[in-house]
Chains A and B, each alone.
Chain A
């Protein structure tokens, strides 16, 4: 037990907390940007121009079907965006927005046709329709899927150490494991990493469940 407590020095706790802050910063900024880019992609996917539709579909399919790790490496080693956090955010936004676009498209399709017609009859432009009428309703329907995607992003930030030596949470904990020799201590550190990811994902998954129940209840009351 003493050996385990030995790990939690002030310096180490600070070191890990900064890693957690890095993880959450990259994840949250990328998720927010991806919702914006994903919304644009999703509305363009319904565009009248075949060319635009084809372009968007190609973008989405490429990023959904190739490993995120590969893109992190490409952006870091080849495109060479610096500083590293910016590079991480750009890379994460690139592939997360493809996933978001599909989620948002599902949400847009779930908005009833009457809403589109009502918006059009008010003389709104396409962009106004999306921003004021369709997207706010669509966003509400897809909160559960959005939060699941957020969990995926948070876990995937663990790639950042391999791809660009960025000190996110797991990377920092691994650095610490190399400083200790006792098995108990190393496993305590692994366990700590698991625990932190758990707690974050657990909170988010509880939120998912909460929203799912709420949406179900609303759907039922509307059906009645």
Chain B
């Protein structure tokens, strides 16, 4: 491998990682809001969040990215006479975030609902305030239960971020495809190996985190 190729792989991996991190961070915030919306008493809020989750989980991420990147400029040119829309990377960040939020919302909801009501009552019986019960009993247990599916979703996102290929973004997958265009398979396997290393690192980290929180179970 030449130095230029190594550089290209490093920058490709950087793009893949930055897409994953941005999407998981913003996806967590949005996902939490959606989870609370799904569990709220308001029927409208329930309906809106349910539809959101249904739309984003039920259609291919590729289609969602295409609508953001190719569709928004179309609307703007129809309304304002000139095509305006997010650029490639912004579209990718937004699309991945919106999609991940839908999956995370369901994970959060399941985690929160899985905590036994008795835990809340036990906290009260010990004379804890509501805040204390939440902080010391409910939230740590929820985190502990959420870690495995969250870790899964993280790995999925890291892999699935390869769909940004459709927007022409030079992430790991596109970089390897460019080099492999002449039929040299090794370039694909290098990308595959980098993905494996990255996912393994994060899986190990999440496993450690899970062990750390295991004492709350």
List chain A positions with a Cβ less than 8 A from chain B. 61-62, 64-70, 73-74, 77-78, 151, 155-156, 158-159, 162, 170, 174, 183, 186-187, 190, 193-194, 197-198, 201-202, 205
Bound-state CA distance A188–B206 (Å) is 42
B74 touching A66, Cβ below 8 Å:
no
Q: Would A202 and B185 be within 8 Å (CB), given that A65-B196, A68-B159, A162-B165 are in contact?
A: no
Given contacts A159-B163, A186-B71, A187-B71, contact A66 B192 (CB under 8 A): yes
A198 touches B160 (CB 8 A): no
Q: In chain B, what residue has the closest Cβ to A199?
A: B58
Establish whether residues B173 and A78, one from each chain, have CB atoms under 8 Å apart when the complex forms.
no
Q: Are B62 and A202 in contact (CB under 8 A)?
A: no
CB distance B74 to A186 under 8 Å?
A: yes
Instruction: Give the docked Cα–Cα distance between A32 and B58 (Å).
Output: 21
25 pairs across A/B with beta carbons < 8 Å?
A: A61-B196, A62-B196, A65-B155, A65-B203, A66-B195, A67-B195, A70-B162, A70-B188, A70-B192, A77-B180, A78-B180, A78-B185, A155-B59, A155-B61, A156-B60, A158-B60, A158-B63, A183-B77, A187-B74, A187-B75, A190-B63, A193-B59, A198-B54, A198-B58, A205-B58
- The residue among A70, A77, A156 with the most chain B CB atoms within 10 A of its own CB is A70
Taken together as a complex, chains A and B put the C-alpha atoms of A44 and B159 apart, in Å, by 26
Count how many chain B residues have C-beta atoms less than 8 Å from C-beta atoms of the other chain. Answer: 38
A183 in contact with B188 given A65-B159, A67-B162, A197-B58 (CB within 8 Å): no
Most buried by B among A66, A174, A183: A66
Question: Across the A-B interface, how many residue pairs have beta carbons closer than 8 Å?
Answer: 95
**A151-B61 Cα distance, complex, nearest whole Å:** 13
Q: Determine how close the nearest CB of chain A comes to the CB of B11; give it in whole angstroms.
A: 17
Q: Check: B199 CB closer than 8 A to any chain A CB.
A: yes
Chain B stretch 166-217: residues in CB contact (< 8 A) with chain A: 166, 173, 176-177, 180, 183, 185, 188-189, 191-192, 195-196, 199-200, 203
With A65-B155, A73-B177 given, can you name 12 additional A-B contacts, CB distance below 8 Å?
A: A65-B195, A65-B203, A66-B199, A67-B160, A69-B165, A69-B173, A70-B176, A74-B185, A155-B61, A158-B60, A183-B77, A194-B55
> Does B84 have its Cβ within 8 Å of any Cβ on chain A?
no
Cα A64 to Cα B62 in complex, Å, equals 20
Interchain CB contact under 8 A, B191 and A70: yes
| Contact in complex: B200, A65 (CB < 8 Å) | yes
User: Which residues of chain B come closer than 8 Å to A170, judged between CB atoms?
Assistant: 60, 62-63
Asked whether, in the complex, the Cβ of B75 is within 8 Å of the Cβ of A183, the reply is: yes
- Which residues of B does A touch, CB under 8 Å? 54-55, 57-63, 66-67, 71, 74-75, 77-78, 155, 159-160, 162-163, 165-166, 173, 176-177, 180, 183, 185, 188-189, 191-192, 195-196, 199-200, 203
- Residue among A65, A74, A77, A156 with max Cβ neighbours from chain B (10 Å): A65
Contact A190 B180 (CB under 8 A): no
Tell me, in angstroms, the Cα distance from A135 to B71 when the chains sit together. Answer: 47
Report the separation of the CA atoms of residues A159 and B191 in the bound assembly, to the nearest whole angstrom.
18
**Given A78-B180, A174-B66, A183-B78, A69 and B163 touching (CB < 8 A)?**
yes
The CA of A217 and the CA of B196, in the complex, are separated in Å by 40
Q: Which residue of A lies closest to B75 (CB)?
A: A183
Inter-chain CA distance A165–B143, complex, in Å, is 43
Chain B residue numbers with a CB within 8 Å of A65 are 155, 159, 195-196, 199-200, 203
Closest chain B CB from A66 CB (angstroms) = 5
Instruction: Name the B residues within 8 Å of A202 (CB-CB).
Output: 54, 58
Give Cα A183–Cα B191 distance, bound, in whole angstroms.
38
B residues within 8 A CB of A193? Answer: 59, 63
Given the contacts A65-B155, A197-B63, A70 and B55 also touching, CB distance less than 8 Å: no
Name the B residues within 8 Å of A62 (CB-CB). Answer: 192, 196
- Tell me if A158 and B62 are in contact (CB < 8 A): yes
